[in-house]
Structure formats: C-alpha cells, structure tokens
Chain A
Amino acid sequence: MLVTRRAALGALATSPVLAAPALRAQTPVQITFNYPVAVGGPITKVIDGYCADFGKANPGIRVRPVYTGTYQDSITKALTAARGGDAPQMACLLSTDMYTLIDEGVVVAWDELPGADKGWMDSFYPGFMENSRTGGKTWGVPFQRSTIVMYYNKDAFREAGLNPKTPPATWAEQVSFAQKLTKRQGDSVSQWGIQIPGSGFAYWMFQALATQNDVRLMNEAGDRTSFADPKAVEAAQYWLDLSTKHKVHPPGIVEWGTTPRDFFERKVAMMWTTTGNLTNVKNNAPFPFGVAMLPAGRRRGSPTGGGNLYVFKSASPAQREAAVKFARFLTEPERAAQWGIDTGYVAVSPAAFETPKMKEYVAGFPAAAVARDQLPHAVAELSTHENQRVTKALEDALQSVLTGRVQPAAALTKAQEDAERILRSYR
C-alpha cells in the first residue's frame, strides 16, 4: 500500500477531531501532583498508592503523582514550570516557600477554592497553620510537617548516672547533662554530650534556640526580621559556648546529614534533629532511646517545618475542585495517622491522634507523641519574602559564628543589615 505524505498528514490531523467528542464525555479531570521526598524508605510507592486509591474512590478524577526530588529541586521545578506556563495543579512544597509563591503570583488561596470550608481548614494544629496563613488567607494545607525534638541514648544516660526517664528540661540542665555524658580519653573524645547540626538547616536549629530565649526572628507579614536582637545574640552565644566553653559539643560545624549516624554509632549521646527522623532512629538505633521536647531557655520552643500542599492558579475550576477533594483525602484523620506512622512526620490534625490506629501506636511507642505535645510551644519556621536570600544571610552569619571567625553580635548585626536591605521594598 502506498501512503503519500499528504494523506498521512491528513489522517493525523483529522483523527483527534473525530475522536474528541467521544473522549470528552468520559475523560476524567486530571490533576498533576508534584511531591518531594525528604525521608528514606519507599515514599514514592506510598504516594503512588494514595493517588491510585483516590482514583478508585473518585472515578471522575485522575491524580498524576510526579516525584520532584528534594524540597529545593521541587520549588525550582514548580517555579520553572509555572513561568513556562505549565504549572502543576497541586504541589507539596516547603511551608516557608509561601511568600515566594505568593510574590510570584502562582498560587491561589485555599479560601477561594470550592469545597475548602473553614471547618476543615481549622481542623489542623494551629502551630502548623502559623506558616500556612498570612494576610488573613490560608495558602497552604499541612501535609508532611515536622518539628525539632531531642533524641537521647538511654544507655548512655544510665552509664553517666543519669535517670533515663528524665531528659534535660532547661538550658542549664542540658549543659550539665552533656558534661556528664561527654567521655574523654586524654585529648580525644569518644562520646560527645550533644550535637546541634550547623549545616543545611542551621537557621532552623538557631530558630529553636532563639525561640527558647524568647525572641521571634520574623513578623507575621514576613517583611521584618530581628536577627540582631540581644536575645538572639545570646542564643547564638549559647550554641557556640557548648563547644568552646563547655566543650560538650564537637567544635565547628556539625553536619546535618551525618548526625543521626553519629547517634547510632554512640559518638554522641543527645542530638537535636527533625521528627522526620523518628522512623529512621526507631529502625536503626541499636540501643534504647528517648525522645524529648527541646529544653527551655526562658521558655520552651521549637519551629515547625516541612511541607504544605499548594494549589496553583493555572488550575481550571474543575481541577481546583478535584485538588481540594484530593487534599481532603490526603489529610483525612485515618490517612494522616498512617502517614505519620510510616514516615515519622507529625500527623497534622488532633483528630488523627484520636484514631484507634494512632492511639495504639502511641501507646506502644510514646515517643511518637512528643512532637505533638511540643506543638503548643511551637512557632512558625523562619520565612520571609525572598526567603532564600534572607535565610542565606542568617546561615552565613551562623557559620561564621560556629567556626569562631566572627563574634555572635557582629555576625548577626551584619545578617540583620542584609535582611533589611532585601526586605525594605516589601513594606
């Protein structure tokens, strides 16, 4: 058979037109859901499973899950696609990306979406909503949220003559416990008392210290910071003193990525890190461990962290409706509980902690409830307009403090000046 090029082109051109009316009648609404993976384990399979289950329960909607790397990669991809006119309909991105997404004008507030009623949006822990609302509107719905807690080695506590049931409750106790837990052999140290990682998320750790010293690092509008506040300087000094004055913390900057491993290998007895690590520690720590709220300075405190769900402006009305349905599906108490158990993230609503599944889990593993109990003391994670630049200014200051190059007051004053310059235009 001879097919001329023109005939072939003609056939190509007409066939979709012929097929379209038949298809349109039953084409489900399709939404793309971008999500990052920030914890180990087969998370992509879990999310793909959720999407498939949702499709079964809602035959009119198809959710296409797209795994987009780390949080950092995910925001790059989402913004690039949005600027290129091809945004996903829904994405899980850092709660701190809120101002960036609003400034770029690519997301839509949940209040304006069909089916997102106030009762549902108020069903989450208020601690998580601090980072999801600004200017009276809700921009993000909590999904994989975390906060900082302290993990400690109960065996090491016993060896040091400490009661493994009472973790340090204050800054002073934290230092004295750490002194008892630090094991020295001559000049070398075989076990450090405590590690607060200073790479990767230094601003997050510092924010915990600052909150405990009773200073808020930014305002609700995200256009002012208070890095140079005397209390913030005090907090940085406390962090530095752990290694230089008390010598209970490894000198310099401790790596975020290797801190859990140091903990498993008994190189450190107490570590500060995210609750996202809970499942990891539970599976890998070769000794009994405890999880505790962070010790109090002037007060208790920890920033929240992690990812929220956002809906993009480019979504059609039908897609917006589908996105809300999917978000409600993901945050249903039963599912939120299971997600928390599987990953270690904090289940996002009080109702999730009331499910039989979660109650049973908490009864057998009380550590899972520590993050929840700390939530009343929690504050929003540092987030401002031009978040990446402002955070970078603070991170640079903290690194220079921890490596002993610049005094805390001078370093934080400089960070504050940089932040002022960046944020001035947003007031």
Chain B
Amino acid sequence: MAENQTYYVPEQSKWPIVATVGLGVTLYGAAAIMVNGQQGESTTGSWVMFLIGSLIMAYMLFGWFGTVIKESRSGLYSPQMDRSFRWGMSWFIFSEVMFFAAFFGALFYTRVFAVPWLGGEGDRGSSNILWEGFQATWPLINNPDPDAYPAPEGIIGPWGLPLINTILLVTSSFTVTVAHHALKEDNRKKVKLWLGATIALALIFVCVQGYEYAHAYQDLNLTLQSGIYGSTFFMLTGFHGAHVILGTLMLTIMLIRIHKGHFTGDYHFGFEASAWYWHFVDVVWLGLFVFVYVL
C-alpha cells in the first residue's frame, strides 16, 4: 500500500483551526471554572464553555484522525511519510517523558533536600527554628504546619494493590507485544484476542487505582491537601492514571480499526504508535512504583 514515492503535502485543512478554537475554549472554560469557583461566583457559564470546547475537541480528534486514516488507506503516504510519523511520535513521547521528569524531579528535591532541611538537617537545617517540633520523615506523616495541612493518617504500602497494579501493567506490556507480533503475521484473530486482553488489563488497572484513591481519601486522609507527600503522590499517580486512560483509548481505537480490517502485516504505524505509547506508560509506572511506593 505504501509505495508512493512523492511526499504527500495535504491540501488546505480546517482541522488545525477547529483544534485551536476547541483547545482555547476548553481551557478558557476550565480556567473560568476555577477562578469563578474560588471567588464564590456562579460557574455554570464556565462549565458550558468547557463542555462546548470539549465537544469541539472530540469532533476535531475524530475528524482529523479520520482524515489521516482515510488518506493513509487510499495510499497517499510514502515510506518517507511513515518515517515522519515515526519521528513525530518518538519525539512526542520524549516530551511526555520530560513532563513526568518535572514531577519526579519535584519528588526527589523534596525528599532529598527540602524535607530534611525543614527537619533541621543539612545546609539549611536552621530552617527548623521556624517549625518547632517538626521532624523530617518520609513518608511525611506530620507536616511542618499541621493546621494548614493536616497530615495523612497513613499511606498506601507498596506490596498490596500497587504490586498487583505493577503486575497488571507489566503483563499488559507483554500482551500488547504479542498482539503486535500477531499483527505482523497478519493473524487477525490472535491480534483481537491479545489486544483485547491488554485493554482488559488496563481497565482493571484503572479500577484498582480508583479504589486505591477512594481508600486514601476516605480512610487515610491522604489527599491532595495533606502536604507534600499527598501532593507528589497524587500528581505522579494521577497524571500517570490519565495517561493510562489515554493509552487505553488509543488501544481501543486500534481494536476497532482491526475489526474494521485496517492495517496490513507490514504497514500499521497507528498500531505501533499506540503500542509505543503503552510501553511508555508502563515504564513510567515502574518508576512510580519504585520511587513513590517502595522507597
């Protein structure tokens, strides 16, 4: 299918401008919800704006990806185009890695420097004179100012649900690879089976994570507001969870496309991109498991 030797430069397209309006309206609405909410004003209008923006975004995603899929299936793309997509996806994943790096960096900094300093150790240990009675521990189960930030009563140990989640995600990385190999062999049935298994594992992961969050909020008072431990915990696991959901969506769309008979044994970059993304999500989890839960 991909024999075209001329690089395909698309004609005019409405999708970029639709995407711009969609993203702008969505985020403006989101900001308005937060700001109006904080000032005790009505947020109805802001919610409407946010929802309209989200609908435009959804329309755009269907439309734009639909166009790309149609173009690809009608053979407009050359192998060179395929490489452009590969570079594009790789660098996108790299940018995601750097986004997580910022939060991991924050975690390391607070654990290695800020919290011990507040507890009276190290170069800025005299900071402890401001926080009488504060002792540095990690996990931080007493905050420097317990009135402003009530500390969590407990934390989530690594060897229960998080371990199960680790096994789920690592397994899903294997299943998606098996599905990929099956696709290369053009064994559709096998692809459906293993890709379906991957999605099922992903969904179980999300449910387990949801249960864990509910437990943290309801039983442990481990919340976003419970000091830096809660902040880093929920930001890292939360953004990871969001990426799992996005990755699951991507895989689900691939399953639908497989059902529709898309892809060939040697031309299926959409599938590969989703698989790459899934492996990235898995690797981030391993980092999380080690640095957030175990250590």
Query: Is the pairing of A and B real?
Result: no
Query: Chain B: residues with CB nearer than 8 A to chain A?
Result: none
Q: Please list the residues of chain A having a beta carbon within 8 angstroms of any beta carbon in chain B.
A: none
